[in-house]
A and B are shown apart, each in its own frame.
Chain A
Amino acid sequence: MRWLAAFVALAAAAFFLGDYHNDVYRKMLLWVMLALGYNFLFGICGQIAFSHFAFYGIGAYSAVILLFQLNVPLPLAILLGVAVCVVVALAVAIPSTRLEGFYLALATLALAQLFVVVLNEGGAVTGGTGGIANYRLPPIFGFQLRGPWYTAVIVFVLLMTLWILIKLDRSWFGRACRAVRDNPEAAAAMGIDVARTKVIAFTVTSALAGVAGMTYAFVDNTVNPPIFGLDNAFLLLFMVIVGGSGRHAGAAIGAVLLFLLPFWLSPLVGHHHVLVFGVLMLAAILLQPKGLIGLWDRYSR
């Protein structure tokens, strides 16, 4: 099957890359994961939210706190971590269904900032401003996952995320999401429960972001507040738009491109690659709203 081939190809690549490139590769895969989820929420369901990174953080911190402060066994920790994300997502999503468009964005922006405040003030539980370090992924069935093997795990989680999103996209739920995105009143008239659709989309994608976060916790073996700050939320939005919102391939392309761009641009524009992002974003919206994937479609005809 194609999925198996994809898994083998992506995971095997990890074994051929040096340590440094493996690290970059892993982080890129994580960004793709985040972009895919965000694309579903924004591109397919039409909801703008800035809380994606907060959930990434909630997943990461939950995993670390559960495993190393509360000494919960690994499988239970994973389930509980997901549960925490779901609960928080519901707590934000349900009251927000009354809000339209940018009001949800603002509420999630506030949530993202509050999250950082809580992390900073969290004292011994969250490690405060220094975060938590000095932990290792516990052995699974006696096997210590490290290096390229852990990358394979990340590939697995990524493909699983993609599979879930594609399945949702192609189901009636996906159609409901699109209807809500394009015209909420018409959707309601067709009998779709708009509020419930929004809540489910937000909760599912946030939970997926949380899972990505749990995976991230063992990449650098450090979690601290700056990692989950607000700038990345904007970057995620840019990635999805430049790549092509509404399409999984678009999100992936946008994530890969904008993640790797600073590394390539570094020798040229130094550190002002953000300027390039802004320009790309503007160009995308003005000239090619379908994003890079739109260009690809046009030229592959």
Chain B
Amino acid sequence: MRFLGLVACLLFAGSAFSQTIKIGVITDRVGVSKPYSEPATEGVIFGASEINRRGGVLGRNIELLIEDDQSRPDISAALARKLVDQGAVFILSVSLSPATQQQQTVTMEAKTPQMTPMNSADYLTTQLQNPYFWQTGPLGSTQIATLLAHARSKNFRRVALITDNSELGQAIAKAFRGTLEKAGIQIVADEVVARGATTATPQMQKIRAANPEAMFLAGVLTAENVLIFRAYKELGVKFPIHSSYNLSVPIYETVAKGLIDGITFVDAYDPDKPEAKAFEAAYKKATGKDSVNLHGYGYDGIMLVADAIRRAGSTDKEKIREAMQQTSYAGVMGAKGMKYSFPEGKRAGYDPNGMVVRVYEKDKQGRVVHVGQK
């Protein structure tokens, strides 16, 4: 009898110990965000497996509950609710910004911590006052400020701006516009290439006629950006192109061959950084595949969550929230020496000086030419 009791206790204890920590992940496996979401999700999965290999968090394994919002905004919020119902103590959002926004209405009400390690829309931490939401993706405003700091050394007075008609492209362009105007730089041409266009020649002609010293690219649709590069080459213009961090997506190396040499772009990744190098090596060893900068977002995301839970010492959502707010963590992404942290009760955690400007060298993402906003 006592033996049975002992076994029962052991089993009970065992099950309590083997109880996992559930982390929800909402990603997009189908639609427009897939090229970003998929590698980010792989980064999360890789990070979780590494954590578990090293003994988990608070002695428990991490269990990822991955949901696909199929690029349907009406489904996003429902999925967040589902994850909360299933006992997730944290939700990672690696889909589109509007999806993350919709999930916030749920996490705010359910008082469940939520974080996007990737989205860059500035409104995510300002439109809703949600104390359970954090954003560690580099903000659009940070990107442009960094890009601008690099451009400032060239003393541009007149520039052109070009983007596409996607939601994110418009948001980035808006951020660019605001910061450029504040810096007293005149925008002499402001163009949009629509999704499905067959050429960007008229827009590029208009830009050429305005005679800018440089062109800022805010577009995020790959095919339309390629159209812009082709028009640029065809019309024989020579002004430098400075791009948002959309150009840090590796696809351009294949699909825009011969067109991107010399283009500078903001990135959140310095391939020379020790943490980045370590990540690349570990990823290659575990999966046999080369990693790209996008993997780092997901990896940092899950690491930040694990770090917060460790410091909270429990899976109580309130404690996690407090611990998260106190984060100070050096990840794979960011300039050398950068740490994620949330100053003065703010919830956007990417260091404003933590982005870098890199340049394409021939067809490959090349070296860092500028760091931060100075």
Contacts and interface: CB of A to CB of B under 8 A. Distances in A.
The reply to whether A and B meet directly (CB within 8 Å) is yes
Interface string A121-134: 00000001111011
Contacts of A18: 85
B101 A226 contact: no
Interface string A12-24: 0000001110011
Given A129-B167, A220-B74, 20 more contacts: A19-B110, A20-B81, A20-B84, A128-B174, A130-B123, A130-B167, A130-B171, A133-B101, A133-B127, A220-B77, A220-B105, A222-B77, A222-B101, A222-B105, A226-B98, A226-B167, A271-B29, A271-B30, A271-B70, A272-B30
B85 A128 contact: no
A220 B68 contact: no
A272 B82 CA distance: 21
B81 A130 contact: no
B129 to A, nearest CB: 9
Chain A interface main SS type:
helix
Interface string A198-232: 00000000000000000000001110111100000
A266 B167 CA distance: 27
A24 B174 CA distance: 35
Interface string B144-174: 0000000000000000000001111011001
A270 B170 CA distance: 31
Nearest to B68: A271
7 interchain residue pairs of minimum CB distance: A129-B167, A271-B30, A20-B82, A20-B81, A23-B78, A129-B170, A20-B85
Contacts of B78: 20, 23-24, 27
Contacts of A130: 97-98, 101, 121, 123, 127, 167, 171
Interface string A240-282: 0000000000000000000000100010001110000000000
Interface residues of B, number: 31
Give the bracket for the number of chain A residues in contact with chain B.
20 to 34
Nearest to B123: A130
A227 B165 CA distance: 16
A272 B34 CA distance: 13
Contacts of A288: none
Contact of A262 (B70, B81, B82, B121): B70
Given A19-B85, A129-B171, A225-B167, A266 B68 contact: yes
Contacts of A23: 77-78, 81
Contacts of A266: 68
A118 B316 CA distance: 45
Contacts of B30: 271-272
A15 to B, nearest CB: 16
Given A20-B82, A226-B73, A270-B29, A120 B165 contact: yes
26 contacts: A19-B81, A19-B85, A19-B110, A20-B78, A20-B81, A20-B82, A23-B77, A120-B170, A129-B166, A129-B168, A130-B97, A130-B98, A130-B127, A130-B167, A131-B98, A133-B101, A133-B102, A134-B127, A220-B74, A222-B101, A222-B102, A222-B105, A224-B73, A224-B167, A271-B29, A271-B30
B128 interface: yes
A244 B219 CA distance: 43
Interface string A144-185: 000000000000000000000000000000000000000000
Contacts of B128: 133-134
Contacts of B85: 18-20
Contacts of B123: 130
Interface in A83-133: 117, 120, 128-131, 133
A19 B84 contact: yes
Interface string B86-115: 000000000011100110010000100000
A220 B69 CA distance: 15
Interface string B13-27: 000000000000000
A270 B128 CA distance: 32
Given A23-B78, A224-B98, A271-B68, A120 B167 contact: yes
A162 to B, nearest CB: 22
